[in-house]
């Protein structure tokens, strides 16, 4: 079973994404902020990270910068999953190298799962 790390501070998003992805057959790890996320990333080595941007303690932008600066972690597949729809935010993330930028309100859960699988296929994690 492929492992996905969800870094998200909102309890309802966490609950529903976990529900949806588990139903689709994935093992879900969850973290509430970038700090916890980094710890889990290093200890559990998930196949892909779903990353929220606005979080307390350490936000998504800082998390991205840190893993890209880390030799062992810089190739981790990351899909940003956020409410922020502005070009500036999209660009800032692209600069750090992400696999996909999704605006939460623009896609249904089913679509998000489908696009995630698309990225995993592209990265050779899934056939």
Most distant CA pair in the chain, distance? 37
Q: Which runs of consecutive H residues, i.e. helices, occur in the chain?
A: 11-23, 34-44, 60-68, 87-96, 109-122
Residue 58 CA to residue 38 CA, distance in Å, equals: 10
Q: Indicate the residue among 87 and 127 with the shorter CB distance to another protein.
A: 87
Q: Indicate the residue among 43 and 108 with the shorter CB distance to another protein.
A: 108
- What is the chain's Cα-based Rg? 13
Subset of residues 22 to 51 that bind another protein, contact rule: CB under 8 A: 23
Which range, of 16-24, 39-47, 64-72, 114-122, touches another protein by CB under 8 A? 16-24
Sheet holding 100-103, edge to edge: 27-31, 3-7, 48-51, 78-82, 100-103
Q: Indicate the residue among 83 and 125 with the shorter CB distance to another protein.
A: 83
Number of residues lying near another protein (CB under 8 A):
18
- Report, in Å, the least distance between residue 116 CB and another protein: 15
Contact set with another protein (CB under 8 A): 10, 12-13, 16-17, 19-20, 23, 54, 83-84, 87-88, 104-105, 108-110
């Amino acid at each position: 079973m492929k492992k996905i790390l969800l870094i998200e501070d909102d309890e309802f998003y966490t609950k529903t994404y976990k529900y949806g992805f588990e139903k689709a057959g994935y093992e879900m790890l969850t973290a509430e902020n970038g700090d916890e996320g980094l710890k889990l990333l290093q200890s559990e080595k998930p196949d892909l990270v779903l990353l929220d941007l606005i979080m307390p303690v350490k936000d998504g932008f800082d998390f991205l910068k840190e893993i890209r600066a880390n030799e062992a972690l810089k190739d981790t597949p990351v899909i940003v999953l956020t409410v922020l729809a502005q070009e500036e935010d999209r660009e800032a993330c692209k600069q750090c190298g992400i696999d996909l930028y999704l605006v939460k309100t623009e896609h249904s859960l089913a679509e998000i799962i489908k696009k995630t699988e698309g990225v995993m296929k592209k990265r050779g994690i899934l056939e």
